[in-house]
Structure 1
Amino acid sequence: FHFFAAHEIGRELQAVSNGLDSHPEILELVAADLQEVKVNDCGRKGLPVESVLRCAILKQYRQVSYEELAFYLLDSHSFQAFARLPLEIIPKKAVLQRTISRISDVTWEKINQALPGHAKAAGVERGQVIRLDSTATDSNIHEPSDSSLLWDGVRV
């Protein structure tokens, strides 16, 4: 039973969730990153692979810290539904950081190649334009064409 709030963010989370459901092969990529060499027979149960991936996506989607993500997973029914956390598990900040950070950059690249193809096929995104948000600030760094930049690199 997945409850998403009748709100713009809830609808977005449900759409992203449906997109992830249509690509089960992504879970295999993440599972390969999360596999440990040694697994203890005792102790707490870990987060399911699907929940780790979905928590990582939530973190990036909402641009929150691990501490804020832990709070939202505790507080928000929509976040819990999206993350598909088992009822008895509410992860702490340290667990989220430890597990999410184990997803490799190679896996993220493969995920980022698979999902835009789905969005393009569904007619949500054409995939021809990318939008970046960045800030440029003045600094005292030499122009790259300046030969003194090379000297600074050697000197430092």
Structure 2
Amino acid sequence: MRQERTVQGSIFDLFAEHEIGRELEAMSQWLDAHRDLLNLVTSDLRRQGVTETGRQGLPSEAVLRCALLKQYRQLSYQELAFHLEDSASFRAFARLPWGWSPKKSVLHKTISAIRADTWEAVNKMLLASARQERL
């Protein structure tokens, strides 16, 4: 069964004081304020015909955040898998369950399940938010 989101973050989830760390923290806060996007990603992941029994998959929140990391840093799936295992800031942003380091095949399968309509909704929400804050 796949969780929709990570209910409680870890006290060890810290962002670096580097420019990229600050950007990731700001992106994370924006995502926290727009949790309704998780419903869209969850429905995309459930459309794949996977039953709700068996091993627990990546939470929908982690899938969305990993997809955003991939696009934000223009990474391949292999590079994304490495950075998720290596970087504390990337792990904090992705909200991966403790001890999880997804492989490139898992990242590819789950991220590619996000439909174009969902990405369009994410973009529209981002643009509306930017307009509202006059950015």
Q: TM-score, with normalisation over the residues of structure 1?
A: 0.75
Q: What residue number does 2:114 align with?
A: 103
Distance, in Å, in 2 between the alignment partners of 1:122 and 1:12 is 17
**Identity, % of aligned positions:** 54
Counterpart among 71, 74, 86 of residue 82 in structure 2: 71
Q: Would the alpha carbon gap of residues 122 and 90 (structure 1) be closer, same or farther in structure 2, given more than 3 Å must change?
A: same
Counterpart among 99, 119, 130 of residue 130 in structure 2: 119
Give the drift of 1:40.
5.9
Gap regions ≥5 residues in structure 2:
1-10
Give the drift of 1:6.
0.3
Q: TM-score, with normalisation over the residues of structure 2?
A: 0.86
**2:52 counterpart of 1:37:** no
Equivalent AA in structure 2 for residue 106 of structure 1: D
Structure number with bigger Rg: 1
Provide the alpha-carbon RMSD of the alignment.
1.3
Distance, in Å, in 1 between the alignment partners of 2:129 and 2:52 is 38
Give the drift of 1:117.
1.6
Distance, in Å, in 1 between the alignment partners of 2:66 and 2:59 is 11
Give the drift of 1:77.
0.1
Gap regions ≥5 residues in structure 1:
126-156
Distance, in Å, in 1 between the alignment partners of 2:40 and 2:52 is 22
SS at match of 1:11: helix
Counterpart among 41, 55, 59 of residue 48 in structure 1: 59
- 4+ residue runs of structure 1 moved beyond 3 angstroms? none
1:73-92 maps to which residues of 2 (within 5 A)?
73-92=84-103
Q: Would the alpha carbon gap of residues 32 and 40 (structure 1) be closer, same or farther in structure 2, given more than 3 Å must change?
A: closer
Counterpart among 3, 28, 33 of residue 14 in structure 2: 3
Give the drift of 1:37.
2.8
